Chains A and B, each alone.
Chain A
């Protein structure tokens, strides 16, 4: 028994165009914006971005299939008569299938995620220099130690610096040669300077509350936790100025804990070091 023709939706043909248009718009966006995420400026970030792309492609496929099936069902199976539909209570085969297939998908995703994680976190090569980062309410401080960054003039001291076990930022008698301290106010954001193509280690420290050291184009953040020695290493592969910001709510002026990151050539980095250390080991105003 068909419903009267007035119930027939006049825009049905048009409606099939909607998903097509959506997909077209989406693919344009995707092509333009690299699926929305910047590609990253470190070797590690590039790997994480690849994983991001994989998750996104998988997600879009699942989205298209499930949402497509839903929209199809709503059009195809909308009420046409008062006849009772067949009362299907279940089907073991399809239920096993649609449990097994998602398991395969998520285990695959996990395997890729695990590989990327091992890749970026368990590189046994020694770092080229260490930057000691301290977060405080509400700014950042970056410390450099000369003999630990390939710019030292005394090979003995450099060798000794390499021998330091544990956290070089905390060892007594190993004072910082360059200290960059941020101050409140947008124009006083500190700048973190690192050389391109070298393995830079960040040791994170806080003595007040938890902060999070986040640089967007590293595609990475690590929490700065009082009482905990957190560290990570990256190798920059693109010169330029980027931005960073505290990513863990840390109190009143959390939103102002911004900083800049400059990735530069070793040559320019050496110049910067020379400027900073010229004369006294003065604290650099940003």
Chain B
């Protein structure tokens, strides 16, 4: 067996609470990241339900304009900054060191700092609800000069996002060093699991783009508090400048929000079709291609400003569809002629592919500039981002949770409840977001607190609201599933899925130091090689 009994204590016992507060173990920090991000997923979800309730019917007065602007701003801010981006750090923290055969991250204390910057940021951002004027209400994009004019909630938002930016920048440096310096003997770069590659690409994006956002936020803070006018034309500044610096970060941030999800899908598909990922190297190059091209498309968010070179950004935006398409084809080819089984992680992975495909196709509408003139800032774009970030990223988050749950918590989640969760979420998701395409085409702008009954937008909006509540209901089987799992003893073997990568070599959950020994590594699927390939006879399983 790979596991030998390791003494639980290393000499002295700390109270559990103190242990969790001071831990520098990447696995415990990963779990803390999970709890933190899932909490804000719930908070963002409740805000989304409030938004959908307000929009369910025309001329609704469930909340007033002031509150509405706060809740949709905070919905997006929570989901993007406090859920999606840090949830990849949760997976990255727990999984990357295990997948490369390392005992921990390169800088465990910096890793702890990365995490512990998050709770204050979340508290600061949401404390906006308790100050005069309310929470931030300029949208998650905080366009200036509007953002200059709003209340204290806006300053709190700026400070919170700055802290999150610091967390993600130092976290990115940590991941990069870990993957460059701490790989097990035999694990060359091109034998790294694909999930690690996507975290690597994401970390490069974070390291290069987040400081630009930090600079922009500081400039906005100066504009608001110290008489600056970087973004105020009345003081000699430029309103479009904010959009340039903001999107220079926030477009790469879209890839920060989706690439690790693609990585998770690329771990799950091979395991449940019993085949290697088709075109591993092509996948790596496509990932790096997306990361590179990701820096040259930011102004496709700004076609209607009339202040950007439209043909260039349109061309680059079309081009970034190519590596994305390559990935989808690689996934299909991975399934092709496999022995496919449909365990819950696989259901979410397949849901990801089918929904992310729609998110790619409806993105081309915005790349075709003259079509974007009509669709920009309408619900069509809201549909697009949710097909990418919910149909894509969130499905990947749940796929990854079901997949790695046995490793992280030592128990398996129930399959039947997982299927119910998936089915409800899949139906709810499409019911919520598909009608938004039609609303956008019919001219419903995004970020409006209410709309006139004259437009006949009620029906589609009601469908969408019903879908949102189905998504909420889909969380019930998930929560029951997790609760029931936690009530059971840890019973999972090292490798319950017959998977390919090193994290399945050690115990579930792994010991503090992760590995007692590392098997020989001949490919990106070391465990597969042990079972079926080179070195199969050397296996001590």
Footprint of B on A, CB under 8 Å? 36-38, 47-48, 51-52, 55, 58-59, 62-63, 66-67, 69-70, 73-74, 77-91, 94-95, 98-99, 102-103, 106-107, 109-110, 112-114, 116-117, 120, 186, 207-210, 212, 214, 216-217, 219-223, 225-228, 230, 243, 245-256, 258
Contacts and interface: CB of A to CB of B under 8 A. Distances in A.
A55 B368 contact: yes
Contacts of B496: none
Contacts of A86: 275, 337
Given A79-B341, A255-B65, A249 B146 contact: yes
A155 B342 CA distance: 79
Interface stretch (B88-96, B104-112, B201-209, B438-446): B438-446
A59 B335 contact: no
A110 B336 CA distance: 32
Contacts of B98: none
Closest 5 CB pairs of A and B: A227-B233, A216-B443, A255-B448, A106-B318, A219-B374
Contacts of B318: 106-107, 109-110
A222 B335 CA distance: 45
Contacts, number: 251
A116 B449 CA distance: 34
A212 B377 contact: yes
A22 B318 CA distance: 28
Contacts of B473: none
Given A36-B441, A95-B282, A252-B65, A73 B335 contact: yes
A255 B449 contact: yes
B244 interface: no
Given A59-B365, A110-B318, A221-B377, 12 more contacts: A38-B442, A62-B361, A67-B354, A84-B532, A85-B275, A95-B282, A95-B329, A117-B370, A214-B377, A216-B374, A249-B69, A252-B66
Given A226-B234, A247-B377, A59 B326 contact: no
A209 B146 contact: yes
Contacts of A246: 445
A254 B447 contact: yes
Contact of A66 (B328, B341, B442): B328
Contacts of B414: none
Nearest to A61: B361
B370 A109 contact: no
Nearest to A110: B318
Contact of A113 (B234, B239, B367, B448): B367
B492 interface: no
Contact of A221 (B138, B357, B376, B441): B376
B371 A51 contact: yes
Given A52-B371, A59-B362, A248-B377, A90 B282 contact: yes
Interface string B225-236: 000000001100
Given A59-B361, A223-B304, A227-B233, A110 B335 contact: no
B269 to A, nearest CB: 11
A77 B378 contact: no
Interface of B: prevailing SS: helix
A113 B377 contact: no
Nearest to A44: B370
Contacts of B274: 84-85
13 contacts: A36-B442, A67-B357, A90-B282, A117-B310, A117-B311, A208-B149, A225-B307, A226-B233, A247-B445, A249-B139, A253-B65, A255-B65, A256-B65
Given A51-B371, A212-B377, A70 B335 contact: yes
Nearest to B449: A255
Q: How large is the interface on B (under 10, 10 to 19, 20 to 34, 35 or more residues)?
A: 35 or more
Interface string B244-288: 000000000000000000000000000001111011111000000
Contacts of A87: 275-276
A219 B281 CA distance: 43
B238 A227 contact: yes
Contact of B322 (A67, A102, A222, A253): A102
A186 to B, nearest CB: 7
Contact of A95 (B279, B338, B454, B532): B279
A27 B329 CA distance: 26
Contacts of B143: 209-210, 248-249
A278 to B, nearest CB: 31
A208 to B, nearest CB: 7
A246 B307 CA distance: 19
Contacts of A37: 374, 441
Contact of B314 (A38, A69, A78, A114): A114
B371 A113 contact: yes
Contacts of A73: 332, 335-336, 340
Contact of A225 (B240, B332, B358, B452): B240
A221 B361 contact: no
Interface of B: 65-66, 69, 138-139, 143, 145-146, 149-150, 233-234, 237-240, 273-276, 278-282, 304-307, 310-311, 314-315, 318-319, 321-322, 325-326, 328-329, 332-333, 335-342, 350, 353-354, 357-358, 361-362, 364-365, 367-371, 373-374, 376-378, 437-438, 441-443, 445, 447-452, 454-455, 532
B88 to A, nearest CB: 25
A247 B379 CA distance: 11
A81 B274 CA distance: 11
Contacts of B337: 77, 85-86, 88
B446 to A, nearest CB: 8
A84 B531 CA distance: 12
Contacts of B373: 48, 219-222
A250 B146 contact: yes
A70 B350 contact: yes
B369 A113 contact: yes
Given A216-B443, A249-B139, A255-B451, A52 B326 contact: no
Contacts of B340: 73-74, 77-79
Nearest to A62: B361
A112 B339 CA distance: 42
Given A209-B146, A254-B448, A106 B279 contact: no
Nearest to B233: A227
A222 B65 contact: no
Contacts of B321: 102, 106
A217 B443 CA distance: 8
A255 B69 CA distance: 10
Contacts of A256: 65
Contacts of A103: 319, 322
Given A90-B281, A95-B326, A216 B442 contact: yes
B314 to A, nearest CB: 6
A254 B451 CA distance: 11
Contacts of A219: 373-374
A88 B337 CA distance: 9
